Chains A and B, each alone.
Chain A
Amino acid sequence: MGLLITYDPPARMSDFDAIPGQRDAWHRFVQESFNANIKAVRKSLQPLKGTPQFYSATQLDPGGALLEQAVIWNAFPKELLRRYGRDRALVIADTLWPLSAYDYDWRYDPDVPADTGSQPGVGMPDTFFYRPLVEYCEWHVDRDAASGRISRITYTSEPPEYWMAMFGGTQDGSSIHFPGNPQLVLDLYRKLVHPQVAMEDLLVKKAFTSPFGALKPGDYNPHNKWNTTHGIAHLSAPPNALTAEINLAAVATVLYQDADGDPVVDPDAFIAGTGMGGANRNSDPTIASTVNVLARSGAMITLANPVGLYMDHVDLSGWDVPGGQSAKDWATVVRGQDQLIERLVVKSPTDEFDVSDLRIGGVPVVFGGQIAECITVKLIGVAAALGSVNNGRLKLPTAGYVDPANAREVFVSGRRGRPNGTVKAFAYESGEVEQKAMAPRRMSFALARRGMR
């Protein structure tokens, strides 16, 4: 096959073409993340004298046929479904949470949100917001102020790093400097979100700790109002980062065993026992397990170029649109391309109707989540040289716990602690060894970028 020359921007979007040196900087940024994660995997395999099974296609051609493996998941957050049930999850999914809530983790109650930012161990502020939409797809619902009817719903899978890069500068945890063009960012905001966006709206005014690194005055603020309360340009929930995707794909190539020495194969047990992602998501258990099963077969694994997070398609079955219109005309790909969708807008093609006129299966659309349930998100992995590597297995570093009286969600020991009264889950897979709990720590964007998620 030969080596890949460069990593392209997600969906091969062309925004960077207008900025000299920007595409090259993006390539080096992605390459840096690959390198850091390969290094981290190599380090974790040192006790076993193993070979990293994660590779960069710019540096290695494993030879033989390449097996492209799209990993897909539903856009509606399973975390909300598990915690709240569908009816309430639909309501909450259309709201914003303070950034501090992410640090506060399972303790956070959206009904009692006060003072989250002052709690011990909480480093992020409660004055900026994110959407609790952690499946690499977020949305914003535009409603008519007078009637409350939905005029438009916008879905995005564009990673924050892309927009931070377009603005310019060096991102926390990275050494790559992006030339950037703040005016281009402003122009895109005005085109995509609202014509009244001002440059000062997009800038950090006072330094704060963001999930995407420490931000200082004058930096681009991924949590600006036009990307949170007033609209949406790109992903902004803490785990929804491109570098987190690369990290998860890399660390998931490492093999683990249970207390009996048997390989850990169950997707839920694997994600909880390794602590490498969100155990209650659609995405992370699927990504990690899909990668790991290929790694268990001795394959070399990478992410396909262009590395990105995408909406694959929106299922229009049962969409009942008024006025004899076609449902296809109600869902428009605004950025990206077919099956590599970065931005999708749902609205009526005519002023005569609005999204509130849309019914799915006879049920009127009143939440953005009803359409998210129809959206499939994906990343594209590549496996090569099956059977070429025979690595040993590490012991599981942590464990998942559930409430034995009402097991709705998994709490992962070693990430943010677990509630009292919970019991160890997945005993059927993870063995009965007494796990040594790691000290709780917040997933740092910089750590993730360095392959230490």
Chain B
Amino acid sequence: MTAKPSGPAEPVLDMHDIQGIAVPGFFKPYQVLLGVRYDRAPDRVNAIVRFLHDWSPKVSSAEVTLRDRREYRSSSISAKTKRDPLIAIGFSFQGLFGLTAGADAIASPAFKNGLARRAALLGDPTDPKSPGHPDNWVVGGPKNELDILIVVAGDTRKAVTTCATKLKRALAAVKAKVIAQPGATRDDVPGEKGHEHFGFDDGVSQPGIRGRASADPKDFITPRHVDRSDFPAAALFGYPGQDLVWPGEFVIGYLQTGPDPLIPGPVLEPTPAWTRNGSFLVYRRLRQDVGLFWRTMRAEAERLAALPGFAKMQDVELAAKLVGRWQSGAPLSRTPAKDNAKLGGDQLANNHFRFDCDTPKLKLVDGTDDFPQAKSDPIGAACPLAAHIRKVNTRDAPSDTGGRSSTYERRVLRVGVPFGPSAKDRYAKSRPSDPDRGLLFLSIQSSIEEQFEFLQARWMNDENRPKAPSGNDMIVGQNAAAADGTRRCILFGSGLTQAQVEAADQFVIPTGGGYFFVPSISALTTVIAPVAASGGKKKSSKTRSQTTTATH
């Protein structure tokens, strides 16, 4: 037998030029999103250009963000509180087009149409009276689309708020309108720190970016935790089960997914050229009706408990089946009968499982995984096919779009946080006076259509895809996309008995957002917001074009 092969050579990314929200991603507990609208009068445009130019040095590069993350992981608690917040800037199509006509060459129908006009495609309510209809959105609705989205993220609420306040003042000085939306990981309910409002640990399964930060062959952007001798897992994963995805799925101008995850596919060519090192950012402000969710779980669990094969079904178990994980983050695939908080909190184990075959134990660099390994579950007896985690990541299982590569090319990097205070009584009916709560969903991808929209419209909302017999994604799927406005899915009970779960009402309601292009830092300073050194006014388009050519 020949020697075991090793992993593929991985590209070095332009870490100084890519914004840090895209690579390696902002994973900070506190955020403020500043939605900006600016006037198109020439003096106002020049003013916003000056603002962008002045603030561009503070935009966090991938290099800065990765260094921040590495220092965070190695530093003491006290040091963590003193760190500067990270800043990212993205532009909607009209916001970008107002600054550079070259935006028109970006070949993305989704980006150009914007989130509000694509809402029906995403299954959002089409009835104007529905609170989730774009006409009723809190931010980014029709004729109210944001031009710019600024993300401020940090380790403390105070630092983020202070930075956001400075930005708001600077924006007010240039007569721009600003809507501020704070968000933070939840820490006000014992046992649910870092969980989203329904109570589930979130962000457990993030893809890893396959690539290096420097010429050092071991300077991986995504740390590796599987021992090199354990091929192919060592080449496929960062943390066990964390798929390493070629960077072109997140950043324009890099290698994308090919049929074989270890052999790169084609380069995603930048069009226009200055979109290289840029990404697309999807912002969805999702309101979560916690009371409705848990009352529905309770009622459906009681109904199921009376059916053969579903005895003693409880709301917590039912909710876990619909998510695919227990509230701790422990995957049903590894612990089908009950939660295991230790497993849920163990990054070396909580994402290591396959769906269609028995999962092997891996040899790890920095620990062991001694929890019971997942068993083959092709029909969804342990983790239902309609579970949210199976709807958005098919792992080793086939889908309606073919084999394993079809899930790699759909992955997005999620960098959002919850907003609003936690519910005090998770079964209580909401009242108009209740504070708003939910998720500031932010995702990074190189194609809005092929990644975020595909996942939402083609997999989560659909009654069968990616694999049948499943049903709708009961958590994030949108009712309007279901044939009769009711989401349904199939669950297996003991003895392979089957039952259907239904939800006529919507637990997750879209209340705003937008589609944004996150440019490279060089594109920001030379194409979008170039300011002449003397006059402080935007350069002519000819000059800008020359600058662009010189830059790339």
> Which of chain A's residues have a CB closer than 8 A to the CB of B496?
65, 67
Closest B residue, CB atoms, query A267: B403
Cβ A428 vs Cβ B403 within 8 A: no
Closest A residue, CB atoms, query B259: A410
- B378 interface neighbour in A286, A293, A313, A361, Cβ under 8 Å: A293
Stretch at the interface among B55-63, B428-436, B457-465: B457-465
> Which of chain B's residues have a CB closer than 8 A to the CB of A320?
120
Closest A residue, CB atoms, query B110: A361
Cβ A317 vs Cβ B121 within 8 A: yes
Closest A residue, CB atoms, query B5: A427
Range of interface residues on B (Cβ < 8 Å): 35 or more
Q: B411-456: which residues lie under 8 A (CB-CB) from chain A?
A: 450, 453
Cβ A285 vs Cβ B481 within 8 A: no
> Which of chain B's residues have a CB closer than 8 A to the CB of A53?
none
Counting CB contacts under 8 A, is B131 at the interface?
Answer: no
- A285 interface neighbour in B122, B398, B468, Cβ under 8 Å: B398
Question: Could you tell me the distance in whole angstroms from the C-beta of B196 to the nearest C-beta in chain A?
Answer: 25
A425 to B404 CA separation, bound complex (whole angstroms): 13
Question: Could you tell me the distance in whole angstroms from the C-beta of B506 to the nearest C-beta in chain A?
Answer: 15
Cβ A317 vs Cβ B123 within 8 A: yes
A363 to B157 CA separation, bound complex (whole angstroms): 42
Cβ A72 vs Cβ B467 within 8 A: yes
Cβ B265 vs Cβ A406 within 8 A: yes
Counting CB contacts under 8 A, is B295 at the interface?
Answer: no
Counting CB contacts under 8 A, is A362 at the interface?
Answer: yes
Closest B residue, CB atoms, query A380: B468
Of the listed residues B5, B117, B378, the one surrounded by the most CB atoms of chain A closer than 10 A to its CB is B378
Stretch at the interface among A187-195, A200-208, A276-284, A329-337: A276-284
Cβ A82 vs Cβ B403 within 8 A: no
A354 to B367 CA separation, bound complex (whole angstroms): 63
Cβ A286 vs Cβ B265 within 8 A: no
Cβ B404 vs Cβ A313 within 8 A: no
> Which of chain B's residues have a CB closer than 8 A to the CB of A293?
356-357, 376, 378, 397
Number of interface residues of A (CB under 8 A): 62
Cβ B5 vs Cβ A268 within 8 A: no
Cβ A407 vs Cβ B265 within 8 A: yes
Cβ A409 vs Cβ B403 within 8 A: no
Cβ B464 vs Cβ A72 within 8 A: yes
A427 to B457 CA separation, bound complex (whole angstroms): 33
Counting CB contacts under 8 A, is B163 at the interface?
Answer: no
- B398 interface neighbour in A267, A279, A317, Cβ under 8 Å: A267
A164 to B95 CA separation, bound complex (whole angstroms): 58
Asked if A268 meets B263 with Cβ closer than 8 Å, knowing A71-B468, A313-B463, A361-B121, the reply is: no
Asked if A432 meets B2 with Cβ closer than 8 Å, knowing A289-B398, A293-B357, A406-B266, the reply is: yes
Question: Could you tell me the distance in whole angstroms from the C-beta of A278 to the nearest C-beta in chain B?
Answer: 10
- B259 interface neighbour in A68, A280, A313, Cβ under 8 Å: A280
> Which of chain B's residues have a CB closer than 8 A to the CB of A67?
379, 496
Closest A residue, CB atoms, query B231: A428
Cβ B263 vs Cβ A402 within 8 A: yes
A317 to B405 CA separation, bound complex (whole angstroms): 25
Asked if A282 meets B232 with Cβ closer than 8 Å, knowing A70-B469, A315-B462, the reply is: no
Stretch at the interface among A152-160, A212-220, A235-243, A258-266: A258-266
Cβ A72 vs Cβ B465 within 8 A: yes
A121 to B468 CA separation, bound complex (whole angstroms): 40
Asked if A282 meets B404 with Cβ closer than 8 Å, knowing A312-B464, A317-B461, the reply is: no
> Which of chain A's residues have a CB closer than 8 A to the CB of B270?
none
Q: B98-121: which residues lie under 8 A (CB-CB) from chain A?
A: 107, 109-110, 113, 117-118, 120-121
Counting CB contacts under 8 A, is B183 at the interface?
Answer: no
A404 to B9 CA separation, bound complex (whole angstroms): 12
> Which of chain B's residues have a CB closer than 8 A to the CB of A407?
258-260, 263-266
Interface of A, secondary structure class, is: mixed
Question: Could you tell me the distance in whole angstroms from the C-beta of B160 to the nearest C-beta in chain A?
Answer: 35
> Which of chain A's residues have a CB closer than 8 A to the CB of B118?
318, 361-362
Counting CB contacts under 8 A, is A408 at the interface?
Answer: yes
Cβ B259 vs Cβ A268 within 8 A: yes
A 77-117 binary contact with B (CB < 8 Å = 1; else 0): 01000100011000000000000000000000000000000
Cβ B469 vs Cβ A69 within 8 A: yes
A297 to B358 CA separation, bound complex (whole angstroms): 11
Cβ B458 vs Cβ A315 within 8 A: yes
Counting CB contacts under 8 A, is A348 at the interface?
Answer: no
Cβ A266 vs Cβ B122 within 8 A: no
B 16-49 binary contact with A (CB < 8 Å = 1; else 0): 0000000000000000000000000000000000
Cβ A74 vs Cβ B401 within 8 A: yes
Closest B residue, CB atoms, query A383: B379
Cβ A361 vs Cβ B465 within 8 A: no
Asked if A408 meets B403 with Cβ closer than 8 Å, knowing A265-B357, A293-B378, the reply is: no
> Which of chain A's residues have a CB closer than 8 A to the CB of B219?
none
Counting CB contacts under 8 A, is B399 at the interface?
Answer: yes
> Which of chain A's residues have a CB closer than 8 A to the CB of B113?
361-363
Cβ B457 vs Cβ A315 within 8 A: yes
Question: Could you tell me the distance in whole angstroms from the C-beta of A375 to the nearest C-beta in chain B?
Answer: 10
Q: B206-223: which residues lie under 8 A (CB-CB) from chain A?
A: none
A 410-447 binary contact with B (CB < 8 Å = 1; else 0): 10000000000001011111001100000000000000
Counting CB contacts under 8 A, is B84 at the interface?
Answer: no
Cβ A425 vs Cβ B260 within 8 A: yes
Cβ A69 vs Cβ B379 within 8 A: yes
Q: B118-154: which residues lie under 8 A (CB-CB) from chain A?
A: 118, 120-123
Counting CB contacts under 8 A, is B235 at the interface?
Answer: yes
Question: Could you tell me the distance in whole angstroms from the C-beta of A29 to the nearest C-beta in chain B?
Answer: 27
Counting CB contacts under 8 A, is B1 at the interface?
Answer: yes
Cβ B121 vs Cβ A286 within 8 A: no
> Which of chain A's residues have a CB closer than 8 A to the CB of B374?
none
**Residues of chain B having any CB pair with chain A under 8 Å:** 1-5, 107, 109-110, 113, 117-118, 120-123, 231-232, 235-236, 258-266, 356-357, 376, 378-379, 396-406, 450, 453, 457-458, 461-465, 467-469, 480-481, 496
Apart from A265-B357, A317-B123, 11 more pairs, CB < 8 Å: A67-B496, A267-B397, A267-B404, A283-B402, A289-B397, A290-B378, A290-B467, A376-B400, A400-B259, A404-B263, A427-B232
**Residues of chain A having any CB pair with chain B under 8 Å:** 65, 67-74, 78, 82, 86-87, 259-260, 263, 265-268, 271, 279-283, 285-286, 289-290, 293-294, 296-297, 312-313, 315, 317-318, 320, 360-363, 376, 378, 400, 402, 404, 406-410, 423, 425-429, 432-433
Residue contacts A-B, CB under 8 angstroms, 12 given: A87-B107, A259-B1, A263-B357, A279-B259, A283-B402, A315-B458, A315-B462, A317-B461, A360-B121, A362-B121, A376-B462, A429-B232
